[in-house]
Structure 1
Amino acid sequence: MSEEPAGLPQVETHCPYCALQCGTRLTGGEAAAVEVAPTGFPVNRGKLCRKGWTAPQLLTTTDRLTRPLVRRPDGELTGASWPTALDAVAARLRELRAEHGPDAVAVFGGGGLTNEKAYLLGKFARLALGTSQIDYNGRFCMSSAAVAGNAAFGIDRGLPFPVTDLRQARTVLLAGANVAETMPPLMQHLESADLVVVDPRRTATAQRAALHLQPVPGTDLPLALGLLHIAIVDARIDRDYIRLRTQGFEAVARQAMAWWPERVESVTGVPAETLREAVRLLAAAPNTYVLTGRGVEQHRQGTDTAAAFINLALALGLPGTPHSGYGCLTGQGNGQGGREHGQKADQLPGYRSLTDPAARAHVAGVWGVRPQDLPGPGRTAYTLLDALGRDDGPRALLVFGSNPAVSAPHSSHIAQRLRSLDLLVVADFVPSETARMADVVLPVTQWAEEEGTMTSLEGRVLRRRALLKPPAQVRSDLDVLHGLAVRLGEPFHRYPTEPREVFEELRRASQGGPADYSGISYERLDSGEALHWPCPETGTPHPGTPRLFLERFAHPDHRARFTEAQQHEPVRESRSEYPLHATTGRVLPHYQSGAQTRRVADLNDTVPEAFVQVHPDTAKRCGLADRCLARVTSARGSTTVRVTLDPTMRTDTVFVPFHFAGDASANLFTHPTLDPRSGMPEFKTSAVRLEFLPE
């Protein structure tokens, strides 16, 4: 804790939103008087975006959950004591497990939970509940890039280098990433670079680009294959790097030969000469980076698409070199740490595989159980949600830090599955759309009221610090897990409630794993050390690893892997009935499902309702005018939005933000088809039609 000017408490912590985790200083003795200021933390350097500046408004939202709620027989949620609420949940869980087995209970986590919460949630699911049915909303964000990164490099860390390295970049390819709106402080690190932006829309980021490639939604994979083709044919690849540091290039090169520029133009709509200019910019200058985001990953072939951009970066000789590289721009606040410590369906702490006997033995030893007591892998996020309430699926769901009623694809269907449950329990600090459907709602602490750690997109472990005490009847998620676990018969000591104690156990559980935190401690973090994982426990304090791969990649032979990326046939939908491509994404004032930012007046007043961004010619063909209401309809459902005309849009494409709920939810029309390797749904392209709606 910092000094307290004028008698007011003050802490240095981090923004509650995206994975950039900008440094902030909070000052104030009560929620209504909290003020925020940016610090000189390296990623934001004294800057904040609008969400960061307005974050204290979350602390005083008028509908803050301040006591447990239990649904009465007449259907109303009513206040209850903590013992009553936890007793009711535990009793019903015991009944369902006794009747249907341990997999009758499922857990759904979130990429915004602290490392301590994510860790204890995974432990609770596998020990206290004995269930294999646990996954989290990060499956909808970074999973494709994680699978591709593990395959290529042997390890998955969003950025294998510090954000500040980008300040020396001469050229940066941003594929499917609109950082000017999603991570505005990051743009200051790109001021000296020529940006090559791949995006179907002319976003705020694309407007600053030296070159904008504007493909048909869903054609990023052939575009990446075409860029690699040009790099090979025009002799712009780094053959010495390929020979010394990689394997598998020949097969990938043969595949790329089928994607000559004119063919790519016919599929993507990006002119062949623009493709050639992009490769020239990437290969001509030193200090080049390839960065991908959700636009690349949120497809049913998202893993292959991310792999294709990694292949391009490898062919150019970028990853693991001092002033160039490849990275994935992780989205959620703890999207990196959240996928490392056990709340994924197939994972144990330290980014260990749940199917690895050695990993099971190590973690079981830390937990004091037998390896055979740990369940195997369960369903991934959408498959888990789709199975809810079915004969062979979970009968109960516990949700922590997520709002799947809005964030899941084909959300009307997922809402039906949630309603079919025998028990839905939601821990949150606001009544999200999912919480309003719950049988039991548990009020938990929010960012300025809790201690813990977060891991930023660059793999740096950070301290979240509490400024305020929570309301009297609000508990931490750690307290909730402890209370339920004890009621389910677990030993009292197995579920600590103090974040520092949980982190000490996390250190031991992660030791020796790919994401090794064993050399990190609260004391080192509080002293100001910059510690990036892996940071193993050694005889002397390990300095952490800010830059991965400079000497070797994480495969046994120390080489990176080129991996073949196959272009699949698109999902077949009637183009006559649904002639337009719809893509979804974020806008500057809002974040994720909007459960937080729609409650901040300064943000919500800027973009108070959902909209569809349409080219004027497209709008005219559909009988639409600027600011009129329209229905966006796919084969799965419709959303009601207001029309915004934009002459920079492709005439075959419309855009809808995904932050809104009810009839305005973009996920009413999105497609639930999944990437077979990552479990990522097809969020970024849907076949739709537009229709005028009278007001």
Structure 2
Amino acid sequence: MTLTPGESVTVEATDALCQKGWTAAELLSSPDRLTTPLLYGRPATWAQALDHVAARLEEVRAAHGPDGVAVFGGGGLTNEKAYQLGKFARVALGTSQIDYNGRFCMSSAAAASIRAFGADRGMPFPVTDLAEADVVLVAGGNPAETMPPLVRQFAAPALIVIDPRRTATARLAALHLQPTPGTDLALALGLLHLAIAEDAVDTAYIGRRTTGFDAVRTSVSSWWPERVERLTGVPVAAMRQAVQMLKNADKAVVLTGRGAEQHAKGTDTVTAFINLALAFGLPGTPGSGYGCVTGQGNGQGGREHGQKADQLPGYRKIDDPAARAHVASVWGVDPDSLPGPGRSAYELLDALGTEEGPKAMLLFGSNPVVSAPASARVTERLKALDLLVVVDFVPSETARIAHVVLPSTQWAEENGTMTNLEGRVQLRRQAIDPPEGVKTDLEIIQELARRLGHDWPAEPREVFDELRLASQGGTADYAGITYERDGVFWPCPAPDHPGTPRMFLDRFHTPDGLARFVPVEHRAADEEADVDYPVYFTTGRVLAHYQSGAQTRRIAPLVEASPEPYVELHPDLAEQLAIAAGDLVRVSSRRGTVEGVARISDAIRSDTVFMPFHWEGANRLTNPALDPTSRMPEFKVCAVKLEKVA
């Protein structure tokens, strides 16, 4: 495969920003930039705003107990912020009600990796291994738009892409499998059935490095290719071609993205692809492996160090007595005082303002009015709070309904570490001075903690050094990483340890060192298309509007980004509904209605429509049904109906 200028538009679009000579200051400048705290919509001093927030938090805790207050974080926060926010929730507030938007990103892949390998690092090998592979299979990912620099690693291998849409990534593929939304799990089972039937599996590896294969072989025996084709719409010949490509590869990688993970059966779907990778002998083999493509700037560190409801720093489980004892010793508190686990992200948002739920929330680095599933319902829950405090640098849709808004610095205006998708911890150095009047998130946490009786540092290096102690001995061990040792892979247990670029080479992180095959069964999506709602709906990201998009609209013209919401539909469906390109289309699900401009494209299945989620509206339609293991909502498939707006 060769990346030509015509095919590599997303990589070129990213480069265009540099070619224009734009500086970080220009990229961050915005007429909407917040530089003054807002107290019920009016400018206030920092002392007024912080005093008010601290007093109201104390009142809510006194009236409703510690769990009357909730904290919601973001996967884009630095490691230092994620760590300090988790500590603030559990020590200063004493609440178990903390989670973060990364729950909406890769929690299913994490759960599947932990039960197969005993640990999860997203991509447990360097991204440069992708360029050395002969074949890379990407299930439900579109890195050409969501992570353009990664696509440079796809220049050498043959690419297999599984996606209902012919995305920018699928256009680069040697083979594109286009299943009905919600049937990825059945397709993975069918591919493994074919691999076993055609004697393509690595029996020596299976016997030496895994356990449980016999049960999985029995479980996939009924998923013969013709059955899978009827269910998924993927031709048998295409499935056989995929299996042969993997069989003939000396080195191969299987990757899952949010398209495979954001389902109410996401953990089982990812497990099925891990089973496929294990059958071919890929995980823990140099140059090969399984990994997931994370979706946010610090999707790794954001969850490793305490933002998730069930985790403590170092990727420790909060219900593990030894984990509680270690972290409590670093924090100087009684292990029994650490609360949790609490509600997962959507369950937490859905409980806000209810009789049994939190009455106040602090929100850092997230915009759930746009990004949460069933977002209209979530918006109403946020509005029901007695106190909503949002920390942001622009007036996001969530900030606009907050009681208190605190202006914060952004990525180029502060120091801190990030952990990228391959587990490499990188120091992000301050490049420009922040506007006068704003504080870092760490300073905001410090000021609130001080008002609640705690004296904590706000200097990133000091916080990171404490994080190193808290993570020591955990799965995500950062003890040997310092600001001077930039670019080290975790785990790194000591200053003289080189770090771990490739995990699982000698053994997996299980008691016996063996990877686990886990039998899983396909089941229908929580909501199938029917007579009333006859079309499948799916959503995702597009280039430039990476999250909620408000900050990136200035640069949208450089990358030909849409200035408005749109609905992508197939020409056959458009003809059936008498919709032409440019028409305004109303899309309705059982949870709400949204409008967008029609885009007619044969890149999508005729039974499916797509909308980007960056504008307020698309996630009103999505289904909040939760994966029983990961608590991941079913973002990627629901049933809708369409009509042209007169």
Alignment of 1:648-687 (within 5 A): 648-661=603-616, 665-687=617-639
Alignment of 1:2-13 (within 5 A): none
| Distance of 1:629 and 1:378 partners within structure 2 | 42
Alignment of 1:81-92 (within 5 A): 81-92=45-56
Alignment partner, residue 4 of structure 1: none
Query: 2:31 aligned with 1:65, yes or no?
Result: no
Offset at residue 187 of structure 1 (A) = 1.6
Amino acid at match of 1:347: Q
Offset at residue 516 of structure 1 (A) = 0.1
Alignment of 1:13-162 (within 5 A): 48-49=14-15, 56-71=25-40, 77-162=41-126
8 Å CA contact 1:355, 1:376 repeated in 2:
yes
Task: Flag the 1:693–1:47 CA change in 2: closer, same or farther, 3 A.
Answer: closer
> Which of 454, 458, 477 is 1:516 aligned to?
477
Alignment partner, residue 554 of structure 1: 509
Alignment partner, residue 489 of structure 2: 532
Alignment partner, residue 564 of structure 1: 519
> Which of 584, 593, 598 is 1:643 aligned to?
598
Deviations 1:176-222 (A, max 9, x none): 01111111221221111111110001111111111110000010000
| Distance of 1:561 and 1:575 partners within structure 2 | 38
Offset at residue 488 of structure 1 (A) = 1.2
Amino acid at match of 1:523: E
8 Å CA contact 1:49, 1:183 repeated in 2:
no
Amino acid at match of 1:669: L
**Unaligned segments of structure 2, at least 5 residues:** 1-9
Alignment partner, residue 191 of structure 1: 155
8 Å CA contact 2:544, 2:555 repeated in 1:
no
Deviations 1:207-257 (A, max 9, x none): 111111000001000000000000011100001101110111111111111
| Distance of 2:400 and 2:466 partners within structure 1 | 34
Query: 2:537 aligned with 1:582, yes or no?
Result: yes
| Distance of 1:633 and 1:573 partners within structure 2 | 14
Task: Flag the 1:610–1:572 CA change in 2: closer, same or farther, 3 A.
Answer: closer
Query: 2:470 aligned with 1:506, yes or no?
Result: no
| Distance of 1:233 and 1:244 partners within structure 2 | 21
SS of structure 1 residue aligned to 2:72: strand
Offset at residue 274 of structure 1 (A) = 0.9
SS of structure 2 residue aligned to 1:96: helix
Query: 2:353 aligned with 1:353, yes or no?
Result: no
| Distance of 1:58 and 1:680 partners within structure 2 | 33
8 Å CA contact 1:106, 1:398 repeated in 2:
yes
Task: Flag the 1:47–1:366 CA change in 2: closer, same or farther, 3 A.
Answer: farther
SS of structure 2 residue aligned to 1:467: coil
| Distance of 1:446 and 1:604 partners within structure 2 | 22
Deviations 1:377-418 (A, max 9, x none): 000000000000000000001000000110000100000000
Deviations 1:281-335 (A, max 9, x none): 1111111110110000000000000000000000000000012111101110000
SS of structure 1 residue aligned to 2:489: coil
Offset at residue 423 of structure 1 (A) = 0.1
Deviations 1:588-617 (A, max 9, x none): 222022232235453586310111111111
| Distance of 1:57 and 1:686 partners within structure 2 | 39
Alignment partner, residue 598 of structure 1: 553
Alignment partner, residue 337 of structure 1: 301
Alignment partner, residue 25 of structure 1: none
8 Å CA contact 2:71, 2:99 repeated in 1:
yes
| Distance of 1:424 and 1:138 partners within structure 2 | 20
Query: 2:344 aligned with 1:375, yes or no?
Result: no
SS of structure 2 residue aligned to 1:86: helix
Task: Flag the 1:45–1:510 CA change in 2: closer, same or farther, 3 A.
Answer: farther
8 Å CA contact 1:176, 1:293 repeated in 2:
yes
Q: TM-score, with normalisation over the residues of structure 1? A: 0.89
SS of structure 2 residue aligned to 1:432: coil
8 Å CA contact 1:102, 1:129 repeated in 2:
yes
Q: TM-score, with normalisation over the residues of structure 2? A: 0.96
8 Å CA contact 2:556, 2:563 repeated in 1:
no
Task: Flag the 1:117–1:52 CA change in 2: closer, same or farther, 3 A.
Answer: farther
Alignment partner, residue 32 of structure 1: none
Deviations 1:416-458 (A, max 9, x none): 0000000000001111000011000000000110001000000
Alignment partner, residue 4 of structure 2: none
| Distance of 2:608 and 2:249 partners within structure 1 | 33
Say what the alpha-carbon RMSD is for the aligned residues: 1.6
Alignment partner, residue 21 of structure 1: none
> Which of 621, 635, 658 is 2:576 aligned to?
621
| Distance of 2:233 and 2:500 partners within structure 1 | 41
| Distance of 2:275 and 2:552 partners within structure 1 | 37
SS of structure 2 residue aligned to 1:106: strand
SS of structure 2 residue aligned to 1:523: coil
8 Å CA contact 2:545, 2:552 repeated in 1:
yes
| Distance of 1:432 and 1:95 partners within structure 2 | 27
Alignment partner, residue 473 of structure 1: 437
Amino acid at match of 1:280: Q
Task: Flag the 1:376–1:50 CA change in 2: closer, same or farther, 3 A.
Answer: farther
Offset at residue 468 of structure 1 (A) = 1.6
Amino acid at match of 1:537: A
Task: Flag the 1:363–1:52 CA change in 2: closer, same or farther, 3 A.
Answer: farther
| Distance of 1:52 and 1:157 partners within structure 2 | 31
Task: Flag the 1:52–1:262 CA change in 2: closer, same or farther, 3 A.
Answer: farther
Task: Flag the 1:571–1:45 CA change in 2: closer, same or farther, 3 A.
Answer: closer
Deviations 1:3-59 (A, max 9, x none): xxxxxxxxxxxxxxxxxxxxxxxxxxxxxxxxxxxxxxxxx9999455777665442
Alignment partner, residue 18 of structure 1: none
